[in-house]
Structure 1
Amino acid sequence: MATVAACEHLTMYIVVRKDLAKTLKWPTGSVMAQACHAATAVLHTTRNDSNTIKYVEDHERMHKVVLETKNEETLGDLVASLQAHNIPLYRWVEQPENIPTAMATAPIPERSPEVKDLFKKYCSLYR
Structure 2
Amino acid sequence: MADPLVQFVVLRKDLLTALRWPWGALVAQVMHATSAVSWKFCYDPITDHFEEHSTPEDIRVLQIDDEESLRALSAKLTESSLHHVLWNEQPEDIPTCIATRPAERNVAEKFFQGLQEFTREDGPS
Q: Same fold (TM over 0.5)?
A: yes
Residue 12 (structure 1) shift = 0.6
The corresponding residue for 1:16 is 11
Give me the CA root mean square deviation.
1.3
Are 2:56 and 1:65 aligned? no
Per-residue CA deviations over 1:74-107 (Å, capped at 9, x if unaligned) read 0000001011110110111000111000010000
Structure 1: state its 5+ residue gaps.
none
Equivalent residue letter for 1:125: E
Q: What is the percentage of aligned positions where both structures have the same residue? A: 34
Match among 80, 85, 92 for residue 80 of structure 2? 85
The corresponding residue for 2:46 is 51
Per-residue CA deviations over 1:34-91 (Å, capped at 9, x if unaligned) read 01110110011011111101011225x3510000100000000000101111011011
Match among 16, 21, 34 for residue 39 of structure 1? 34
State the TM-score, normalized to the length of structure 1: 0.86
Corresponding residue SS for 2:113? helix
Equivalent residue letter for 1:90: V
Match among 112, 119, 127 for residue 112 of structure 2? 119
Equivalent residue letter for 2:20: K
Per-residue CA deviations over 1:7-47 (Å, capped at 9, x if unaligned) read x3211100000000000000111111101110110011011
The corresponding residue for 1:25 is 20
Residue 118 (structure 1) shift = 2.2
Q: Please give the alpha-carbon distance, in whole angstroms, between the structure 1 residues aligned to 2:50 and 2:75.
A: 24
State the TM-score, normalized to the length of structure 2: 0.88
Structure 2: state its 5+ residue gaps.
120-125
